[in-house]
Structure 1
Amino acid sequence: MRPSFLKSLNLDVIVEMIEMACRLEKWDKVIETSEILYECVQYLYQEQQYRKAKSSPILTIGLEHPLVYYYGFSYLTRGMAYQTKENYEEARAYIDKYAELGWLEDLGEDGLEVVEEFRFLAQANRYALELLSGRVGVLNSYTAFLRENPEEVLPGLDVILQAALRYGLDVDELLIMFAEHTAEFCTYEDEGNLVHFYRFSYQLALYYKRAGRMVEALEQILQAVRLAYRSGNDSHSTRSLALFESLRDWATVEQVNEVQALIKG
C-alpha cells in the first residue's frame, strides 16, 4: 500500500465518528464504522511490521494514541453495540479480543499502558454482560468490583438498573450503598458520563414507577428530561417525555411548567 495513502488514514476522525454514532445510539453504524477503523489500523500495523522486517524507515503518522488503542477501541465499541442489541455471544467475543492486546509488537511504555486499560475495561464489561444476560448471581461480585473502582460506579449502576428492570431485582440496598456516588453524578461534565447519567436517571425513574414510588419516579424522569435537552439528543428527549407524560397525574405544577419550558426553550 502506498505510504501517501497510509499517511492519509486519519484514525482519530474515525474514532470521533464512532463516538458520535454511540451518542446517537446508531448501533449498526457503530459496528460498521468500527469495522472500518479495524481495517485501517490493521493496514497500518502490517505495513509497519513489513518495513521493520525489511529494515526500511518506519512511517511517521500523527496519531493521538498508540496504535494499539485503535485496535482496542474498534473491539470495544463493537462489543458495546452487540451488547445493546442483546447479541451477547458476539459481545463476549469482542470482550475477549480487547482483554488481551499484548500480542502486538513494539508496544512501548505508552502502548503497554493502553493494553492494561483495555484489560481493566474487559473485566468491568464482562460483569455487565453476565448480569444483562441473566446471570444475576454475579451481582455481589460486580458490586464489590464497583466499590473498589469508583470511576465505574455510574456505568455500573446503569447496567444494574437495566438488569433490575429486566429480571425483577430489588436493588434498593445497593442504591443506598452508592448514594454518595450518585449524589456526585450531577457534577459530571464530559459527554460519556452525561449519557450514562441520563440512562441512570431514566431507568431509575422506571424502577421507582414499577415500585409505585411516583414522587421519586418524577424526580428522576425530570432529571432525565433536563439531561436530554442539555445534550440535544432527540431520541432521549422523546423517550423521557413519554415517561413523564405517563406520570403527569402525580406531577406538581412546578414540574409540569419546567418540562414545558424545556420543550419551548
Structure 2
Amino acid sequence: MRPSILKLLKPDIIVEMLEMVFQFENWDKLLNTSDILYSYAQCIYEERQYFKAKRLPVPHVEMARPLVYYYGFSHLMRGTACQKQGQYDQARESINKYAELGWMEDLGEEGMQIVEEFKFLARANGYALDILSGKTERLAEYVAFLQDNPEELLPGLDTVLQAALRHNLNVDHLLDAFAEQEAEFGEYEDAGNVSHYYSYCYHLALYHKQAGRQDQALTYVMRSLILAHDSGNDRNFKKSMALFESLREGAAEERLQQFEERLRGCLMEERQQPV
C-alpha cells in the first residue's frame, strides 16, 4: 500500500477492526489487517525520522495512543492469528518483535509504559506457545505465572485446556485448584473476555467429553452455546450445536429438554429481529 494512502488511515479504527475480527475468529483477515496496521506504523515512523534528520517540524498525526502501541498491537494480533492456525514458528517471530520495542526513539514516559506492557504480554504468550507446541515440562512454571497474574487466568486456562486436548494431558488438578476463580469468569462483560470465556467453555466441554464425563461436558457446551448466541457469533453457535449433538446419545431427558428450550428461544429471538 502506498505511503500516501497509508497516512490517510485511522489507526484506532484499525485497532477496533482487529478486535472485532479476533472475536469472530477470522484468522486470515486478522493477519491481513495486522499487516495494514504495521505498514501504517512503519510509514509514520519513517516519516518522523526523515523530518527529524532534515531538522524540519514533524507533521502531526492524529492518534489516541503513542505510535509504539500500534507497532506492538500489529505484532500481537499477527502472532495470535499464526498461533490459532498452528503456525508456531511464525507466532514466535511475532512475539519476539513485541517483546522488545525499546528500540524506538522518542518514546517518552507513556511510550515506555506501553513497551513494558507488551513485554509482559510477550512473556505470557511465550508460555502459552510453549505449552501448545508440546513443551509441557513448562506447565508448572506457566501455572505459577497465572497465579501471580490473575488477569491472565481465563485465557491461560483456556490455553492449558487446548494443550491438554492436543497432547492428551490430565489437568484435573489444575481445574480444581482454580475452581473458585473459574466461578467468576461468567461475570465478565467486555467483549474480549466474553470471547475468551466462550473458548474456555467449549474446550472444557471437549476435555470432559474426552475424559468420559458426559454430564460435565453437557454443562459447559450449554454455556458455550449461550455465549455464542448472545455474542451473535454464528460460527461458534454451530460449533457448539455440533458438539452437543455428539453428546446427545445417552444424555438425560432433562438435559435434552434444556437444550431444545434454549434453541427454541434462540430461534424466536432471530425471528423477532427486524428484516
Band of TM-score, shorter chain: over 0.9
2:260 maps to: 256
Change (3 A) 1:27 1:4: closer
In structure 2, list runs of 5 or more residues that go unmatched. 270-275
Task: Decide whether the 8 Å contact of 1:38 with 1:70 is kept in 2.
Answer: yes
Rounded to whole Å, the distance in 2 between the matches of 1:263 and 1:218 is 20
* TM superposition shift of 1:6: 6.6
TM-score where L is the length of structure 1: 0.95
Structure 1 range deviating more: 227-236 or 248-257: 248-257
- CA shift, 1:256, in A, is 3.0
Check if 1:221 corresponds to 2:221: yes
Alignment of 1:57 onto 2:61: no
Report the counterpart of residue 167 of structure 2 in structure 1: 167
Amino acid of the structure 2 residue aligned with 1:47: E
What is the Cα deviation at residue 9 of structure 1? 2.5
Matched, 1:136 2:136: yes
Q: Distance in 2 between matches of 1:236 and 1:132?
A: 21
Q: Which amino acid in the other structure matches residue 54 of structure 1? A: K
Offset of residue 206 of structure 1:
0.7
In 2, Cα distance between equivalents of 1:73 and 1:3: 20
Note the C-alpha offset of 1:30: 1.0
Matched position secondary structure for 1:8? coil
Structure 1 runs not aligned, ≥5 long:
none
The TM-score with structure 2 as length reference comes to 0.92
The Cα of 1:255 is off from its aligned counterpart by 3.7
> Which letter does structure 1 place at the counterpart of 2:87?
N
The equivalent residue for 1:75 is 75
- Between 196-205 and 254-263, report the one with greater CA deviation: 254-263
The CA deviation string for residues 91-112 of structure 1, in whole angstroms up to 9 with x for no partner, is 0011000000000000011100
Residue-by-residue CA offset, 1:174-220 (whole Å, 9 max, x unaligned): 00111121111111011110111000000101111111111111110
213-222 or 141-150, larger mean C-alpha shift: 213-222
What percent identity do the matched residue pairs reach?
Answer: 53
Change (3 A) 1:247 1:43: same
Structure 1 residues 210 and 66, CA, compared in 2 at 3 Å: closer, same or farther? same
RMSD: 1.6
* Alpha-carbon distance between aligned partners in 2 of 1:209 and 1:24, rounded to the nearest angstrom: 25
String of CA shifts for 1:7-64, please: whole Å, max 9, x gaps.
5331111122222221221111111111111111111011111112222112222211
